Each structure stands twice: as C-alpha cells, then as structure tokens.
Amino acid sequence: MTKVEFVEPDGTVRRIDGREGLTVMETATRSGIAGIEAECGGACSCATCHVVVDPDWFARVGPPGEDERELLAFARHVTPTSRLSCQIRLTGMLDGLRVTVPRSQR
Ligand code: FES
C-alpha cells in the first residue's frame, strides 16, 4: 500500500490507501476525493485533476513534463508545486505523499 493524503477543497483531510502503479488521479477518483473531475480520463488534456503537491514532497514527485506544463497554464490557482494528478504514478517512494486540491475545484 502507498498512502496518499488528500486535502479536499473545503480543507477536509483524507488518507487513502493507494496502490503502486496507479496514478494519484486514479487513487482520488476511486475514493471520491472532492474536486478531482478527471474529465479526460488521464490523457493529459483537461487539467481537471490539478493538485498542489506539498513542497516537502515535490522533489520526489518531480516537475511536470512539457505537455503538462502547457495545460497547467489554463488551470486556476497554479503554484510552483502544481501537478496534474493523472501524471503522477504511485511508487513506494511516494508512500505518505500529501497533495491539496485547489479551492477553485470545489
Ligand atoms: Fe485530464 Fe489529468 S485527467 S489532465
């Protein structure tokens, strides 16, 4: 199990048991995390899976790729640690990862 801590747009904190190999977006949608619509199903073409990665975790998660960066330009409340959650695949190294769903995604 790879635990992921989600902070929902209203501030609710939920700790979810994820699975290595799944993305953070898949983990969120399977658990009904608020604010992760994932309209494109993970094809990196909608930005409705935007999350802000906790700064303590960002080095392990890594920066967005070029396509992802271009899409993030259209998202609201983007920060230097913003990522599209469909582009973050869970590994053992990410056990305990904490991400926040922006308030604009209520
Ligand atoms: Fe559409 Fe992530 S689900 S960009």
Residue 106 lies in a domain: no
**In CATH, what number is assigned to the domain containing residue 38?**
3.10.20.30
Select the more confidently predicted residue: 105 or 39. Answer: 39
Model pTM score:
0.96
Residue 24: pLDDT band with limits 50, 70, 90 = very high
CA of 67 to the centre of ligand 1 (A): 11
Mean pLDDT of 1-19: 97
Mean pLDDT of 15-30: 97
pLDDT of residue 1: 87
Instruction: State which ligand 1 atom lies nearest to the alpha carbon of 49.
Output: 2
pLDDT tens sequence across 49-94: 999 999 999 999 999 999 999 999 989 999 999 999 999 999 999 9
Q: Which residue among 27, 33, 44 is best mutated to probe the pocket of ligand 1, counting the most ligand atoms within 8 A of its Cβ?
A: 44
SS3 61: helix
| Predicted confidence (pLDDT) at residue 8 exceeds the cutoff of 90 | yes
CA of 71 to the centre of ligand 1 (A): 9
Residue 13 lies in a domain: yes
Residue 105 lies in a domain: no
CA of 87 to the centre of ligand 1 (A): 8
Is the CB–ligand 1 distance for residue 34 below 6 Å?
no
Into how many domains does the chain fold? 1
Mean pLDDT of 39-43: 97
SS3 100: strand
Residue 54 lies in a domain: yes
Enter the tokens of residue 8.
């929902």
